Structure 1
Amino acid sequence: MKHPFKKIVGIAATVAGLAIAGQSMAETKVGFVYVGPVGDHGWTYRHDIGRQAIEDKFGDQVKTTYVESVKEGPDAERVVRKMAASGHDLIFTTSFGFMNPTLKVAKKFPKVKFEHATGYKRVKNMSTFAGRFYEGRYVVGTAAGHMTKSNIIGYVASFPIPEVVRGINAVARSARAVNPDATVKVVWVNSWYDPGKEADAAKTLIDQGADIILQHTDSPAPLQVAEQRGVWGVGQASDMSSYAPNNQLTAIIDNWDQYYIERTQAVIDGNWKSGDTWGGIKSGMVEMAPWNDAVPADVVAAAEKVQKAIVDGSLHPFQGPVINQNGEQVIPAGEVLDDGALSGMNYYVQGVEGSLPK
């Protein structure tokens, strides 16, 4: 006769085995909060490419979701909180203005892991990450300094935060290193994504004499204006050459794929830890699109020499002397601005026209 207790134990063991098996096969839920639409062909588009890279890598093991065109501020906090409450294990919030909302939610959901792009506030379950985009802009500035005929480089800028200011200053420094007469004019649009405002800013800069247009905004509109007006433009965050096949000089490409895969793997493996990552050209987080065929070979060679020097560490875009717009020395020759000073950059360097908005 079979003992009933043994039967009960056997059933319990089977159920426990199924539970363990189910647990090991459970999906990891990864969410993304985007400041712009996935079709912006710039910043948000590249983050969404990174999200797709997670799906390609992990398949059914991971489920990703996203919310696009989220406004910075209270709306962001609501979206992030809803995502955290709906079973997500890892949440990427991808705009500077999402920092405080993400921090608030992270403190309320200690079991959820958060990754915030371009910020500086961290807690045990919230990391930060960013690209050293200023490295790409320094490379581009070298080419712009050689290519400009008017000595006016136009810059369509979003918000006067350190990340954007660094890029403007990097372009001015590298352009003037090869062409001391080069200047940078800036138009602020106070938006990350507003094709109409971005286009108007590019037109204004060209009307003021700019023959090269750069941008730290997310739509291809400034580049399209450059194409229409027959001046050079530089793509932002992704290769935008399809919008300006004749006039895209190059583009600075943000590549988040590997970082997103690694951080997702860390959550799956149970060894995710809070930290700060600031990757540049060397790490592959910042890439350069192919140079336009019409760019002279010696200009490409000069830009690529600078790029190589940044990678091997023999050149830093903010190695001294760094002189601000008022002629004051920020750091002397032989020294380099450290990451802390770069993270808080709130001044223009020599060669940038106008005053920095407060």
Structure 2
Amino acid sequence: MFAKGQTVIQYMEQLAPKHLADQDDKERIGLQLGSLHKEIRTVLVALDVNEDVADEAVRIGADLIIAHHAIIFRALRQINTDTPAGKVYEKLIKNDIAVYIAHTNLDIAEGGMNDWMAEALGIRNTVPIDETQREQLLKLVVFVPVTHADQVREAVLAAGAGAIGNYRHCSFNVEGTGTFLPQEGSNPFLGSAGKLEKASEVRIETIVPQGIRSRVVQAMLKAHPYEEVAYDLYPLELKGKAYGLGRVGKLEHEQSLAAFAEVVKDKLDVPCVRVVGDPERVIKKAAVIGGSGSRWYGAARFRGADVLVTGDVDYHTAQDALAAGIALIDPGHNAEKIMKAKVAEWMSAILEKNRYETKVIASSINTEPFRFM
């Protein structure tokens, strides 16, 4: 059985929830071209979508491309198929290949782009460089007959509820008596229409992050035996985990800036890097932000970083960072290609777990526009 397009994207948005995206980026993420109302036999994961990637998608029979960089970056007034971009759109549409974009939501997500880059570079115990939002937490309260309390509790906890810090499957449970009077036309699990019923019930309380609210509620309703389920969701003052751009943390081993630059070249698979700062400087704490993140050098320095790894560093920003006392390593924007294998691996695992035959392939096309002479 092959997964439907909507199913593949539901899984993708578990990894990179759309609500995490930067405000200026929200119009560019999601489905940008084509339709998801179809079976997906093959997914191609790409950093960029250019003509070579479109040709690759046609060649492998892909029904869907999941990419990091938007194929439509600015509003279109026309689609002229004589232009380079228009030819790509035409090829994708004619071959019924949809394009879905996960950009800053994938950057910010826990277990996403910046965590992959930090892990690759040996940066540990990380926090965001720039916190963009705090997770809103809700309290779910549901009343369940004693006979089904374990079933409902396990369903909501398996859906992701009940996480507090480093603890999982947290809940509070108290037994009591529920009353209800089934009306004409009802089909009660307990009792009969027109007769007041008293039932031994369990009040289950647990924490639900806003981002998975729908998933948890659906799991609860599916597991609950009642025709009409009594439950409440309360917003909490307590805030959840912090989300934000970039990562900063301590290196596994302190090293010189020159040595760390070699690590960046090796682990991010780039032919060269540009370095700002004294090559002999000792690096203990490092920051990384995928793509073009040099404007966050001040925030990285504020969080104690000795060096910031990011792409697209311009001359004047390099001068300012040097004067501010923070080193920079620029591996280029294309270093984000680490996401191709990571997303493909993650998506393949969840599709296989759910017994779908859909294949997920990391693009083999090098979309780096620069050549190093």
Question: TM class by shorter-chain length?
Answer: under 0.3
**TM-score normalised according to structure 2 size:** 0.25
**TM-score normalised according to structure 1 size:** 0.26
More helix by percentage: 1
Tell me which of the two structures has the higher relative contact order, counting C-alpha pairs closer than 8 angstroms and 6 or more residues apart: 2
**Rg larger for:** 2
